[in-house]
Structure 1
Amino acid sequence: MAEHRPPPQQEFAGLQALFINCSLNKDPAQSHTGSLMSAVSGLMQRAGAQVETVYALEHSLPPGIYPDMREHGWQEDAWPDTLWPKVQAADILVIGTPLWLGEESSVCRVIIERLYAMSGELNEKGQSVFYGKVGGAVVTGNEDGVKHVAMTLTFALSHLGYTIPPQADCGWLGEIGPGPSYGDRAEDGSLIGFDNEFTQRNATIMTWNLLHLARLLKGAGGLPNYGNDRRAWEDGERFGFQNPEPPQEESGR
């Protein structure tokens, strides 16, 4: 059997990871999503990356698709001055959300909207400002929907410019219907979900795939910009694109 040794910590020492917890629980200490996210962030931190966690409900984040919603009628908006600089600096973004009626939380949808608000920003290569960064998702709940929500979140991140590695999500589901959540204590004192090997495995693989891909992208200076330089496109460059030949019209009509 092959011996598996962890990469040296200095391999990931230059990476910054941001975790955004989109729980609906007002008290961060009571967030079940936060419990599973901490397993991922803890592993990432032990690997040598710099990790920061943001609890979305602790900030004034109005919904909307503009960089600063104070310019659109809202009195407060923590996005442009507080959260966006953290997102911009992070090589890895992990979004965590609970499930409600099989969908991500309302807070999570606001975070996606605010990320979308920055989709017009470009990096020095003329690419989306999110190019060269990687993203993943953590989902918890006691109803079905982990894969559905992970699909929604990773597609949104990918569409904005994040690179999504293989197995970029993890989650935990309890029994169908109301019941204990991840990290609650069972009658015997054990912690619900902590012994679930499937969750442990996916969380571990997700973490290392995020780290490996982020290191590769950062070491390569991001993605090449041939074909995705939006400034060049605006200047008329078409990178080899040609319209297809139109269908031939049928005769005799």
Structure 2
Amino acid sequence: MSVKVLFLNGTLKKSPQESNTEALIKKSADVFSKEGAETEVIRLVDYNIDYGIMEEDEGDDEWLGIHNKIMEADILVIATPIWLGEKSSIITKALERLNGVSSKTNSKGQSIFYNKAGGVVVTGNEDGAQSVSRSVLYSLSQLGFTIPPNVDTYWVGEAGPGASYIEGGKENDFTKQQVSMMSYNLLHFARMLKDHPIPAEGNTLE
């Protein structure tokens, strides 16, 4: 069964700058690819994305193309560095744009994001991974994404300034375990939702 996975990389570094967040994304993407899933990474900072709670085609920007890829995906993984203890500003912007279509429904009257699985990847060199993960996963759940167990993968090193993921996290056993758990759990739920979509009874926005 074909499964499409889309990663939104919220690094603040434009391509082709090296991104710790993208390095950790690649670990997850490798797991998905090994299991036959199709993966794509979008580095959001490379695109013109307007601020605001608006529909996908309302802004004078490039969000519509990103939105269309989200709609084609079975799995959406939000990936973000931590700055000042928070997710990156461009991930906040992306979540706000997703919120702009939160009232839109599928043919059954459910959120258009129903039957898609969501996860989160976090990098940094300070505390905040669990707080950022909680914020992102709650947002995705509110929008209609299904959140399986253990779908937060992160590397933050020791508290305070320290080694980045590329410098010190690639061989960390906990992070490697989380990458595996997140990827396989998302894949399992995506396949399950394709076979058995969430029933509409009691689950419509209309």
TM-score normalised to structure 2 length: 0.96
Residues 7-43 of structure 1: per-residue CA shift (max 9 Å, x gap): xxxxxx4111100000011234411001001100111
2: distance between equivalents of 1:29 and 1:200? 24
Query: Per-residue deviation at 1:101?
Result: 1.2
**Structure 1: gaps (5+ residues):** 1-12, 185-191, 232-253
Q: Which residue of 2 aligns with 1:91?
A: 74
Q: Is the 8 A contact 1:167 1:205 kept in 2?
A: yes
1:168-207 mapped onto 2 (5 Å cutoff): 168-184=151-167, 192-207=168-183
Query: Per-residue deviation at 1:106?
Result: 0.3
Amino acid at match of 2:63: W
Q: Percent identity?
A: 42
2: distance between equivalents of 1:210 and 1:139? 16
Alignment partner of 2:201 out of 226, 231, 237 = 226
Amino acid at match of 2:177: R
Q: Which residue of 2 aligns with 1:163?
A: 146
1: distance between equivalents of 2:92 and 2:46? 16
Q: Is the 8 A contact 1:62 1:69 kept in 2?
A: no
Residues 99-124 of structure 1: per-residue CA shift (max 9 Å, x gap): 01111000110111011111111111
2: distance between equivalents of 1:27 and 1:177? 27
Residues 55-87 of structure 1: per-residue CA shift (max 9 Å, x gap): 10111011111015755xxxx31112x101100
Alignment partner of 1:34 out of 22, 44, 48 = 22
Q: Which residue of 2 aligns with 1:79?
A: 63
Q: Which residue of 1 aligns with 2:5?
A: 17
**What value does the CA root-mean-square deviation take over the aligned residues?**
1.3
Query: Per-residue deviation at 1:230?
Result: 2.3
Indicate the SS of the match to 1:183.
helix
**Structure 2: gaps (5+ residues):** none
Alignment partner of 2:119 out of 113, 128, 136 = 136
Q: Is the 8 A contact 1:28 1:55 kept in 2?
A: no
Q: Which has the higher contact order (CA 8 A, sep 6+)?
A: 2
2: distance between equivalents of 1:68 and 1:84? 6
TM-score normalised to structure 1 length: 0.79
Q: Which residue of 2 aligns with 1:238?
A: none
In structure 2, the CA distance between the partners of 1:117 and 1:88, relative to structure 1 (3 Å rule), is same
